[in-house]
Amino acid sequence: MEMAGCGDKKQDLAMRLRRVEGQIRGLQRMVEDDKYCIDTLTQVSAATSALRSFALSLLEDHLVQCVAAPASKGGPEATARVREAADAIARLVRS
Amino acid sequence: MEMAGCGDKKQDLAMRLRRVEGQIRGLQRMVEDDKYCIDTLTQVSAATSALRSFALSLLEDHLVQCVAAPASKGGPEATARVREAADAIARLVRS
Amino acid sequence: MEMAGCGDKKQDLAMRLRRVEGQIRGLQRMVEDDKYCIDTLTQVSAATSALRSFALSLLEDHLVQCVAAPASKGGPEATARVREAADAIARLVRS
Amino acid sequence: MEMAGCGDKKQDLAMRLRRVEGQIRGLQRMVEDDKYCIDTLTQVSAATSALRSFALSLLEDHLVQCVAAPASKGGPEATARVREAADAIARLVRS
């Protein structure tokens, strides 16, 4: 049941991740420089939010391209794909 | 674009909510009786988890019945439904 | 190491919980009446947010009255209380 | 009211962040290579959990060193510090 990644927004997704990587490197400098914990925690919250937004963007893409589109062609695969997506959403909600 | 609720697991969903209601009433008694805050917080975490599980169960049902099933019948509605579901997931993840 | 509940904002906390209970009962009616899942999910997100706000309010009270106040009287208890609070926060963040 | 960072576990905190940075770079490769979205989402959930654990570890350290310890020396600062910590926890819970 493998499928190519949901590629349409690839540039946007890559850019979001580079930004998160920058935030994580910023956090490393904050720890290295003994910055005040509360400021570090605020930066962690920002990075977590950015990761969540990345995930939600990827997920919407996935639902359009890998759930609704195959379903529209019929076949028994739709329910399996929905279950798989629902499991990924549950992991996301609980992470 | 309204649609009937995703009814198949209605009894299960109703039972989960009655249990959450019981947890909330338990919390009210804990506050009333001045129970130790940490124990009250533990009970809040349990109720929040139960609400999340309820939401994830409802969401999976919704994706099967109200996203994948209409998509399999074709029509232009699938993308709108996916967007709507993605928005609901985003609210859930951020709540 | 038990301690009375953090009572100062008892009325406010009780009122918040009554409101959450009302939201849960509203959810039960929505399921009963086969309301559209997306609307039900929106209401779940609202109830989850309300529970989180309740928990954060209770937690702040707890940190003032049951962590900072005992610490200010000295004694070896402060670290144990902080650990206990940190564990409760972890459960909350992950719920 | 500034204060040095909570330094005791600096090595452990730095190591956790390097690991998260590795996870984010892994995510960039997954997007680059068009990996299947569900696998990418699973990796996002893992990175988010790792960030949360980092934050909770930093927060516990902070509560011990920057809330309980100053409180034990007395002074009017304790409540302000608790409020500040409670605000950071709220941002974390909601991120």
Number of domains in chain D: 1
Burial class (CB in 10 A: 0-12, 13-18, 19+), A1: exposed
- Give B-chain residues touching A59 at CB under 8 angstroms: 86, 89
Reported as a pLDDT band with limits 50, 70 and 90, residue C6 is low
DSSP tally for chain B: helices H, then strands E: 4, 0
* Chain mean pLDDT for chain A: 87
C4 within domain boundaries: no
The pLDDT, as a whole number, for residue B9 is: 85
B61, B8 in Cβ contact below 8 A?
Answer: yes
Q: Is the pLDDT of residue A8 over 70?
A: no
> Which residues neighbour B11 within 8 Å (Cβ) at sequence distance 6 or greater?
none
Q: How does pLDDT run across D23-45, given as a tens digit for each residue?
A: 999 999 999 999 999 999 999 99
Are residues C85 and D63, on separate chains, in Cβ contact within 8 Å?
yes
B41, C88 in Cβ contact below 8 A?
Answer: yes
D32 within domain boundaries: yes
Q: How does pLDDT run across A41-78, given as a tens digit for each residue?
A: 999 999 999 999 999 999 998 988 888 877 777 666 77
- Give D-chain residues touching C82 at CB under 8 angstroms: 60, 63-64, 67-68
> From chain D, which residues contact C within 8 Å (Cβ)?
52, 55-56, 59-60, 63-64, 67-69, 71-72, 74, 78-79, 81-83, 85-86, 89-90, 92-94
Residue B34, Ramachandran bin (φ over 0: left; ψ between -120 and 50: alpha; else beta): left
Reported as a pLDDT band with limits 50, 70 and 90, residue C2 is very low
B1 within domain boundaries: no
Q: Is the pLDDT of residue A2 over 50?
A: no
A59 within domain boundaries: yes
DSSP state of C76: T
Tokens 């062609």 appear where?
A: A73
What's the average pLDDT block by block, 10 residues per block, for chain B (95 residues)?
Answer: 58 96 98 95 96 94 84 73 91 90
Alpha-carbon gap: A25 to the closest alpha carbon of chain D (Å): 7
D42 within domain boundaries: yes
* Chain mean pLDDT for chain C: 87
Are residues D55 and A45, on separate chains, in Cβ contact within 8 Å?
yes
Q: Which amino acid is at B65?
A: Q
Minimum-distance CB partner of D59 among A41, A52, A62: A41
Query: What CATH number has the domain bearing residue A13?
Result: 1.20.58.1000
The pLDDT, as a whole number, for residue D25 is: 98
B17, B50 in Cβ contact below 8 A?
Answer: no
Of the two residues C74 and C77, the one the predictor is more confident about is C77
Q: Which amino acid is at D86?
A: A
D1 within domain boundaries: no
Tokens 């020396």 appear where?
A: D73
Domain of C25?
Answer: 9-94
Q: Which amino acid is at D20?
A: V
pLDDT tens across the length of chain D (95 residues) = 445 555 558 999 999 999 999 999 999 999 999 999 999 999 999 999 999 999 999 999 898 888 887 777 766 677 788 889 999 999 999 88
- Give C-chain residues touching B38 at CB under 8 angstroms: 62, 84-85, 88
Mean pLDDT over C12-37 rounds to: 96
The pLDDT, as a whole number, for residue D70 is: 75
A2 within domain boundaries: no
Reported as a pLDDT band with limits 50, 70 and 90, residue C83 is confident
Q: How far apart are CA D10 and CA A31, in angstroms?
A: 7
C20 within domain boundaries: yes
Q: How far apart are CA A14 and CA A16, in angstroms?
A: 5
